[in-house]
Structure 1
Amino acid sequence: QVALEQQPREVTVREGDEFTFQCIMKGDDMSNYFMYWYRQDARGSLEWINRDGGAYGDGFQDRFVGSMQTSKNSFTLQLVAASPGDAATYYCAARITLEHLSSVWINKLVFGPGTTLTVEPSK
């Protein structure tokens, strides 16, 4: 059974600060999966940020850096400089492909528990 762990569950940073989100896979080798980062804001909209291998969602490439460390079974997302609009819950996810019946393949995403980011205004 694959599970994703994220620590910490909540964090507060100051505007302009850097922060790195952490995701650890338990139960399998992360290199066997496509890995993703998403975020969900207070309105509930889910945005795709990054996929391992260097793909980014629109508007995220300039301020976010995704990185996989296969030796540690770890997937990280660096936020280079936090802004108030970055306040959200950040989720890592693994794409799992299952064979259903014969020759029918199903893709599903398994999500981590999320890290909620709060951004304080700089003084």
Structure 2
Amino acid sequence: MGPSVTSAHIVLQSTRFMSALPGDEVTLDCSIAAGVSMSSYTMYWYKQDHYGEPIQFIIKEYDKPTQNYEAILNTNDNSFNLKVSKVTAQDSVTYYCAAGHSEARTVHTLTISVI
């Protein structure tokens, strides 16, 4: 039993499923539990195209925005959101928000379906 057991509820996401239309801009929410120091963690977003496939890294805190993704870190309210611009059917995947702290990472998931 490592430190990951004690940190299971550090990463919080209020939304589990989201629908969007092609071309929409969507923001996926992720936050760290109140009372947890965000500065002692590195925040990451990952995605997984289909269950059982490899999880792909998207962006981490302080990375420059890419064509599709922008990470929005707000240490005032402990949030680390992901803005996905101009969504297409290819963005209809599962997204993972993760907090890295030494060896342990806690992960929560959110799925977007593009209609």
State which structure, 1 or 2, has the greater radius of gyration over its C-alpha atoms: 1
Q: Report the number of matched residues.
A: 106
| TM-score normalised per structure 2 | 0.85
Distance in structure 2 (CA, Å) of the matches to 1:18 and 1:33? 27
Distance in structure 1 (CA, Å) of the matches to 2:59 and 2:72? 9
Letter in 2 for 1:115: L
2:39 aligned counterpart, secondary structure: helix
1 or 2, which has the higher strand percentage?
1
Q: Out of 14, 18, 22, which is 1:15 matched to?
A: 22
Distance in structure 2 (CA, Å) of the matches to 1:7 and 1:41? 21
Distance in structure 2 (CA, Å) of the matches to 1:15 and 1:41? 17
Structure 1 stretches of at least 4 aligned residues deviating more than 2 Å after TM superposition: none
Are residues 1:31 and 2:39 paired?
yes
Distance in structure 1 (CA, Å) of the matches to 2:23 and 2:101? 35
Partner residue, 1:70: 75
What's the Cα RMSD here?
Answer: 1.5
Distance in structure 2 (CA, Å) of the matches to 1:89 and 1:29? 27
Partner residue, 1:95: 100
Partner residue, 1:6: 13
Are residues 1:40 and 2:45 paired?
no
Q: Out of 99, 108, 119, which is 2:114 matched to?
A: 119
Q: Please, which runs of 5 or more residues in structure 2 have no aligned partner? A: 1-5
Distance in structure 1 (CA, Å) of the matches to 2:89 and 2:107? 24
Assess if the C-alpha contact under 8 Å between 1:7 and 1:115 holds in 2.
no
